[in-house]
Amino acid sequence: MSNLTLKNINKIYPNGFQAVYDFNLDIKHGEFITLVGPSGCGKSTTLRMIAGLENISEGEFYIGDTLANDLNPKQRGIAMVFQSYALYPNLSVFENLAFGLELQGLDEEIIEERVIKTAKILGLETYLDRKPRELSGGQCQRVAVGRAIIRKVDIFLMDEPLSNLDAKQRVTMRSEIIDIHRKVGSTTIYVTHDQTEAMTMSDRIVVMKDGYVQQVGTPKELYFEPVNLFVAGFIGEPPMNFVPCHLENESLLFNEASVSLNLVSKFPQIKEHKELYFGFRPEHALVKYDDPSIGVEVEGFVELTELLGDNTNVYTKIGEHNVILKVDPHDAPKVDSTFKFLIPYESMYFFDKETERVIK
Ligand code: ATP
């Protein structure tokens, strides 16, 4: 039972490239933490430093009260699941699961008991005699997870474990991993570039960009209270709409003044900022509403609609700027028609154009 602490962690690779800057995080025992961000932002590097596979250039990493910077991977009580599964191709599922326990020199009976128990948790009981090549991607992934949990360690690290699976398998494995995490009760640190995985699985999410932590928070905090333009645009699908605008005589002017919204009386905090981005999420715009006083009404022209089943994406513009609205398919306006939509005040965000930070 141990908390993990990362204090002012920096990673500079031998070629001089700095991949991680001043990473700080306290992880409570049992938490499911996800590191998310675009390719190359430093997620795997951070995970590998926690695993002991990559040395920490600067800063301190604690497991409980123990400074762990110089502990080797084995001493850290950590199990890691990789994207590639890393199974032994010539060993059966049983042997793959048993391998680590045999190395520990455990009794055959105990090994068998633990393999069967783990196979049950993962629904692999009927596959124990098969070789990895006789399994689907999802089943291989389950064996890889099984190899981690069978070791009964306190900390699991997972690096893009679902990226080799098809979309349907990913959804299934997502809930299986959450279920296993609950059953086993260990701390899990999970790396992905997929914001949906991060949002659906995590207790807390760490959003990274270019080696810097942008924000740490619960999925709800990141969705409703993003601290900057990057986080606001990264979390949510389709992403938040951003419309450049500037402030003149108490009015927000969009796209060379073709649209003007008087929002300063409602949001006095924007007065201090001349150039801004106005933001709202596609799913928060309304095309059917009784009370226009709860927001601002905008006239749009429908350029394209995409029916996705449970909702329709409507492509339109504010002034000259493209925006997407996500609406109930029954309410979707027709292509090539003009229509009105409402952006509720409570769903509006403003960002300073220069700092890209949210204006609160
Ligand atoms: P991905 O999602 O593509 O795996 P990531 O966020 O996990 O990306 P990292 O693998 O941590 O990113 O890499 C972060 C940065 O460090 C990248 O720019 C990468 O090119 C660089 N990098 C990784 N390993 C090394 C290395 N051994 N030497 C030098 N630079 C490296």
Q: How far is CA 108 from CA 79, 113, 128, 131, in A?
A: 22, 9, 16, 21
Determine contact, residues 46/20, Cβ cutoff 8 Å.
yes
Q: How far is the CA of 44 from the centre of ligand 1 (A)?
A: 7
Q: Which residues line ligand 1 (CB under 6 A)?
A: 13, 15, 17, 19, 37, 39-45, 193
Distance 78 CA to ligand 1 centre (A): 21
Read off the pTM.
Answer: 0.91
pLDDT at 263: 80
Each of the 360 residues of the chain gets a pLDDT tens digit; together they read 679 999 999 999 999 999 999 999 999 999 999 999 999 999 999 999 999 999 999 999 999 999 999 999 888 989 888 877 789 999 999 999 999 899 888 999 999 999 998 898 888 899 999 999 999 888 898 899 888 888 878 899 999 888 877 788 788 888 888 988 888 888 999 999 999 999 999 999 999 999 999 999 999 999 999 999 999 999 999 999 999 988 887 777 776 555 677 788 889 899 888 899 999 999 999 999 999 999 989 999 999 999 999 999 999 998 888 999 999 999 999 999 999 999 999 999 999 999 999 998
Instruction: Please identify, by atom number, the ligand 1 atom nearest to the C-alpha of residue 42.
Output: 11
C-alpha to C-alpha distance for 164 and 281, rounded to whole angstroms: 30
- Residue bearing the CA closest to ligand 1, atom 28: 13
Q: Which amino acid is at 15?
A: N
Please tell me the distance from the alpha carbon of residue 104 to that of residue 88, in angstroms, as a whole number: 18
Tokens representing residue 355 in the block:
């700092």
Residue of the CA atom closest to atom 21 of ligand 1: 19
- CA of 321 from ligand 1 middle (Å) equals 34
Q: Are 321 and 280 in contact (CB under 8 A)?
A: no
User: Exposure pattern of 102-130 as b/e (b: 16+ CB <10 Å)?
Assistant: eeeeeeeeebeebbeebbebbebeebbee
For ligand 1, pick from 41, 46, 47 the residue to mutate: most ligand atoms within 8 Å of CB.
41
Top mutation candidate among 45, 160, 163 for ligand 1, by most atoms within 8 Å of CB: 45
- What is residue 356's DSSP assignment? -
pLDDT of residue 21: 98
Residue showing tokens 């450049």? 244
Tell me how far the alpha carbon of residue 46 lies from the centroid of ligand 1, in angstroms: 10
Ligand 1: which of 11, 15, 17 to mutate, most ligand atoms within 8 Å of CB?
Answer: 17
Q: Return the H-helix or E-strand segment holding 115.
A: helix 108-122
